[in-house]
Structure 1
Amino acid sequence: LLTASDLSTAVREHLDREQVQLQRLPLSDVEPVLKGMAKKLSEEGTGKHSIWLSSDASEAIHRAAAGVDVLKTPLNLISEISPVALMKLIKNEVELQGFRECHKRDGIAVVRLLKWLHDQIDCDKTVTEIQAADKLLEFRKEESNFMGPSFETIPGAGPNGAIIHYSPSRDGVQKVIEKHDMFLLDSGSQYKDGTTDITRTRHMSRSPTSEQKCAFTRVLKGQIMLGSALFPQGVKSPIILSDEGTTDITRTRHMSRSPTSEQKCAFTRVLKGQIMLGSALFPQGVKVSTIHSPFTSKTGIDCRIGSNF
C-alpha cells in the first residue's frame, strides 16, 4: 500500500533479490483491502490464520482488519508490537557508526551556538529565544549531510526552560535571554547518516544559585544511578528503572513529568516509541534499553543535562 510516490529502483531490486512478491495498491484502499482480507479468512473458516496488527495501529484500521462492518462475527486479531518493529529497535553497525558521526557534527553546531550566545550576552547584546534557534539552524546547515531539523527547536530562557515542549511564538513580544537566566536548548537534526536530539542547559552568567546547583547535582546522580543499574530479567514496566534515575530528585520534592529515557531513530522520525522509561507499561516483546536522558522540572528551573543519545 503506497502513496503516489513509487518505490525506488534500488528498493525494488533489493526486494526482487529477496524474492519478495509485491502487489502494489494505492494507500487510499487500505480499509477496503483489510475488509476483504478479513472476509476471505472468515470464509476459509479454518481458524488457522489471523491478521497481525501493530498495537499502535488506529481504531479504524483495527475495525477494518477485524471485519467489523462486513462480518457477523468479527475476527480476533493479533494486536501486538510488530516483529519488524522489534528488529528495527536494534541498530545495525552501519546505523551505529552513522549515529556516532552525525552526533559529532551536530555537537559542533551546538557548541558553536553556545559559544556565540555567551559572547553576545557577555557583551550585553540582545538575543531572543527565536534568534538563538535561528542561529543554531544556520550553524547546522554548514555541517555535511544535514537534511533539516528533526523537530522544532525548544529554546527556553528562564522559567520557559521548565515548560515541556515549549515553543516560542514569532508573533508578539519576544523573550530575551538575560544574563541571569538559565537557558535550555532542546534540539535535533536529521542527517543522512542518523538522527540527533541533544539537550543542553547553560547558566548565562555562569553563576547558578544554590538551588540550581542542587537540582543539577541530583539529576547527574540520577543519571549515574540509571547508567549503572542492573535491569532485572523480564521487567514488564519501566517504572522501576525510571525510578533509578529520579529517586534522588524526588527527595527534594522536585518532579519529573517526562520519561527518563527514550531511543532515537536513524534518519526517520525522532523517537522510537516502543523504547521509553516512564510510567507506561512496555509493549509485549520490548526489552529494556539503556539509552537515557534524565532530568527534573520545576517552575523556573529546568535541569535537563546530557545528550539524548
Structure 2
Amino acid sequence: MTIMKIKTAFGIAASVALAMPMLAFAAADQEAAMKDPNNWAHPRGQHNNQGYSALAQINKGNVKNLKAAWTFATGVNRGHEGSPVVVGNMMYVHTAFPNNIYALDLNDNQKIVWSYFPKQDPSVQAVLCCDNVSRGLGYGDGKIFLQQNDGMLVALDAKTGAKVWDVKNTDPKVGATNTNAPHVIKDKVLTGCSGAEFGVRCFIVAYNLKDGSLAWKAYSTGPDSETLHDANTNKDNPLYNALSVYQDVNGGNKEGGSFKRLSADQIKGGEKELGTRTWLKPQAVKDGWQHGGGS
C-alpha cells in the first residue's frame, strides 16, 4: 500500500513538472511564428510594438515598381486600422464593427477557409470612441483572438474558426467598450477597455489562453490593491512612486500661479495609494478616481 502511494505521488509530481513548462509557454506557436519574418503573428509584428517588417525584398530602389497583386473586399465601409495576421499560408483579416473575420488561404487564390460574423447590438456604435474600429487580432495557442467592440473577448480555433471560448470583458451599457487588439504573451492574452470619457474606470486584464479564465486585473486608478502595486513596485526607482515632483508657486494652478520642479533630493519616493490620492483635484470631488481614467 505504501509503495502504491509513493508511485502515485511520484506520478503526480512528474505530471506537474511536465505541465509547468508547457503552461509557461502555451503560445510557443506564436513565438515560433514571430521568428519567421514572412509571418505577422502579432498585431504590431513583434512584442516591441514597433510595427516594422524585417523583410528586405522591397526597398527604396524598387518600391516604385510595386503593383497590386490581388484585392479582397470585406464589405465593411468603416475604418480598417489594424493589420492582418499572417501565419504560414493563412491570412486573418478583420473589419470594423461588426468585427467580422475572414481566414484566407494565400496558397489557394486567397480562398476563404472560414469566416466569423459576431452578433453585436448596433447601439454599441454610439459609445465607441474614434470610429467603429478594431485595431487587430491576437494569435497563439492555435487560436485567433478577437476583442469585439461590445466588450466580448473571443477565442477562435485558427484552423476552423470554431469558437473555443468567450468572456465578457466590458459592458457598453455603462459606456465601456473595446477597440484595441488583444496581445498574446506566453500563456495569457491581455486586453483593456475604452470609455474614460464616459466616466469609466479602466484597467488592463489578463485571461488564460486555454479557457478564458481570469488570471489578473489591474485598474489604472484606485487603491494599490486594485492597481496591483505592492512593496516591490518601482523598488529600483522609488522616485516613480512620488506624490509630486513640482512645487506650487504663487498658488500653483491658479491665475498668476505656476509650478517649479523639485530637485531629486527634495522628492519623496515610495509613496503609497497614489491611485486614489492623485485623483482628487482634477475631478474636484471626493474619490474622483472612481469616475474615469486610464483607458
Into which bin does the TM-score normalised by the smaller protein fall? under 0.3
More helix per residue: 1 or 2?
1
Q: What TM-score does the superposition give when structure 2 sets the normalisation length?
A: 0.22
What is the TM-score with the length of structure 1 in the denominator? 0.22
Which one scores higher on RCO, CA 8 angstroms, separation ≥ 6? 1
